[in-house]
Structures are given as structure tokens and as C-alpha cells.
A and B are shown apart, each in its own frame.
Chain A
Amino acid sequence: MAVSTTSSVTLSANDRLVAGVFALLLGAFLVFGAGLANSAVLHDTAHDTRHSYGFPCH
């Protein structure tokens, strides 16, 4: 894809890695909590979402 000349990421390589790793960790935490965590309250709250996204459920 040679289309991304107008808006490349304007971060230094180091900042980019820090931002990326932080985003990956926080994102994984949120997805785990909503989709996979084995808590009855979290399960019941996210029940329809878990099924809709095809997370393994029940």
C-alpha cells in the first residue's frame, strides 16, 4: 500500500514502541476483562457481547 505518505506516524521510533506496547497491554487487559475473565459478574454483564463476538462462553 503506497498510500500512507500524507500521514505517517509522527513519533520517534522509541516513542512509537512505548506507545505501541502500552496500547497492546491495555487493549489485551480490556479484551480479557470483557471477553474471557472467569468472573460471574463480568460474565453476566458481558454475556450477549461475549456470544456476539464469538468468545468461548459457558
Chain B
Amino acid sequence: MIVRYLLAALVAGLFSGALMTAAQEARVVPLILHAEEFEGGEETAPATDGTTPTTGGAATTQEHSSFGAVLLDVASYLSPVSVAYAHEGEAHEEGGIMFGMSRFSGTLLANLVTGTGFALLLAGFSLVSGHPITVANGALWGAAGWLAVHMLPAIGLPPELPGFPAADLTQRQIWWVATVLLSAGGLYLLFLKPGIVAKIAGIVLIAAPQVYGAPQPSDISSNVPAVLGAEFAVAALATTLFFWIVLGLALGFANEKVAKAA
């Protein structure tokens, strides 16, 4: 029986991860690719048709038309978050995509793994807390997962595009993980524990990391246009909400299948 519930989570996670890939390709990935044209200086971004007029400005036109040392100087003048820093950890000569896959299949694989991971976390949370996930409440479980993993951490660390200024990676990851854990615990107390004390404790847990504050970069200048950042933050939150609601419903459906088969 244990294995069946884990398999239910696996199926729901793979299904949601596959759908998430489609949603990402529609809106989020194009914005990432667009932002990468502004990231750093060495990328030979082709002077794409739509780019130059919309972003406007002589500086942009110049960046697109000239390459090499001059551009590197301009880029480092415009922002400390360029070239070396923006590409830190993204060194394609050292890294590269697993098994020589294409960028898309790498994203698909990562989405399947992430989807399965989140499905197992949601199922594990439900099993340990003793509150079953069903088709009827699956969307709410999914929405709660989205709040804990995406919306509440995004208050301190909004979804970032490549080339965005950011504080030290390790510090951000620590804050992010702590916020997800505290938010999940807080939502559990708020929604699933009766009693006014539990509700207040839940709100305190959710607020604590926000009051403490996320690590912020000292310099917020960036080559990436702000409009792209705003569009991306909304697109990322919208697609992850879609992912979590599909995941909650799929997990509820799979759980009911398992329970009926038992």
C-alpha cells in the first residue's frame, strides 16, 4: 500500500511536470531567452528585429551593433552585474547540459524531476499530517503549496531573470528554503489546526521570514529592462500556480484511484 501512494505521487508529479513544460514554453522561456540577450556582453545576441525598437535608446542600439572590448566596457560601466558575475555558475565550458541533451529536453527533464519532487513533498505532508488529498480539495492543496513554495518566498525574492542583480547565492538559498519551510508550517497551523492559538502562531510563522527580510543586492542596476522583469515575475507566478493546481488535482485523483483499488 505504501508503494501505491508513492506511485500515485509519482504519476501526478510527472503529469504536472509535463504540463508545466508546455506552460513555460508558451510564456516564461521566451522571456528568459529575451533577457539573456541583455545579460553580460560576450553573448553574440543577434540584433533581433523586435528588440531594438521596443527597448529604444541609443545605448541599446549600440550594444546590439558592436561587440568586443568596447561592449564589455560599456556593460561593466552600466552595471557591476555583468559578464563575470552574471555568468558565474553558468560557465558553459565547464557545465553543459546533461547527457548532451538539447536545452528544451534539459528543461523537460528538470520539470519532470521537480514536479515529482513537489508531488512527493505534498503527498508526504498530507500523509504525515493525516489530512488526505482528494479531487474535491486537491486544488486547495495545490494553491497552498503554491503559496508556500512560490508566492510567499517571492515577496522577498521575486522570480529573477538571468542578468538580474542579486545577493550572494548561498544566502538567498538559505533564506528561500527557510521561508518555504516556515510558510508551509504556518499554512498548516492556519488551515488544518483548530484553535485561535494555532491561527496566530501560523500567521507569526508566515510573517517571520518576511520581517527578517531576504538578502538583497547592494546595487540594483541591471542591463535587463525592468518591463521584462515585471512580465517575468507575473508569468513565473502564474505558471507555477497553474502547475500546483494541476498537481493538487492530479494527486487527489490518483489517491482516490489507489483508495478504491485497495
- Measured CB to CB, the residues of A under 8 A from B are 1, 3-4, 6-11, 13, 15-36, 38-58
Q: Is the CB of A20 within 8 A of B262?
A: no
Cβ-based interface call for B256 (8 A)? yes
With A9-B130, A54-B150 known, 18 other A-B pairs at CB within 8 A are A1-B136, A3-B137, A4-B132, A23-B5, A27-B9, A27-B122, A30-B116, A45-B97, A45-B106, A48-B28, A49-B24, A49-B111, A52-B20, A54-B157, A54-B159, A56-B172, A58-B90, A58-B166
Q: Is the CB of A40 within 8 A of B89?
A: yes
Q: Is the CB of B136 within 8 A of A30?
A: no
Shortest Cβ distance from A23 into B: residue: B124
User: Nearest Cβ distance between residue A38 and chain B, in whole angstroms?
Assistant: 7
Q: Is the CB of B95 within 8 A of A40?
A: yes
Distance of A36 Cα from B176 Cα, bound (Å)? 10
Q: Is the CB of A23 within 8 A of B116?
A: no
Q: Is the CB of A57 within 8 A of B160?
A: yes
Number of A-B pairs whose CB atoms are under 8 Å?
A: 216
Distance of A46 Cα from B96 Cα, bound (Å)? 10
Distance of A57 Cα from B16 Cα, bound (Å)? 22
User: Nearest Cβ distance between residue B178 and chain A, in whole angstroms?
Assistant: 12
Picked from B92, B125, B166, B176, the residue with its CB within 8 Å of the CB of A20 is: B125
User: Nearest Cβ distance between residue A37 and chain B, in whole angstroms?
Assistant: 10
User: Nearest Cβ distance between residue B42 and chain A, in whole angstroms?
Assistant: 16
Shortest Cβ distance from B29 into A: residue: A48
Q: Is the CB of B119 within 8 A of A27?
A: yes
Q: Mark B69-103, 1 if CB is under 8 A from A, else 0.
A: 00000000000000000101111101111100101
Cβ-based interface call for B154 (8 A)? yes
Q: Is the CB of A3 within 8 A of B134?
A: yes
User: Nearest Cβ distance between residue B245 and chain A, in whole angstroms?
Assistant: 15
- Measured CB to CB, the residues of B under 8 A from A are 1-2, 5-6, 9, 20, 24, 28-29, 32, 86, 88-92, 94-98, 101, 103, 106-107, 109-111, 113-114, 116-132, 134, 136-137, 140, 149-150, 153-154, 157-162, 164, 166, 169, 172-173, 176-177, 236-237, 239-240, 255-256, 259-260, 262
Q: Is the CB of B101 within 8 A of A45?
A: yes
Q: Is the CB of B117 within 8 A of A34?
A: yes
Q: Is the CB of B259 within 8 A of A9?
A: yes
Picked from A7, A15, A36, A40, the residue with its CB within 8 Å of the CB of B134 is: A7
User: Nearest Cβ distance between residue B31 and chain A, in whole angstroms?
Assistant: 9
Q: Is the CB of B176 within 8 A of A55?
A: yes
Q: Which of B5, B88, B116, B125 has the most CB of A within 10 A?
A: B5
Residues of chain B within 8 A (CB-CB) of A39 are 95
User: Nearest Cβ distance between residue A21 and chain B, in whole angstroms?
Assistant: 7
Q: Is the CB of A1 within 8 A of B137?
A: yes
Q: Given A23-B120, A40-B89, A56–B157 Cβ distance below 8 Å?
A: yes
Q: Which of A3, A23, A47 has the most CB of B within 10 A?
A: A23
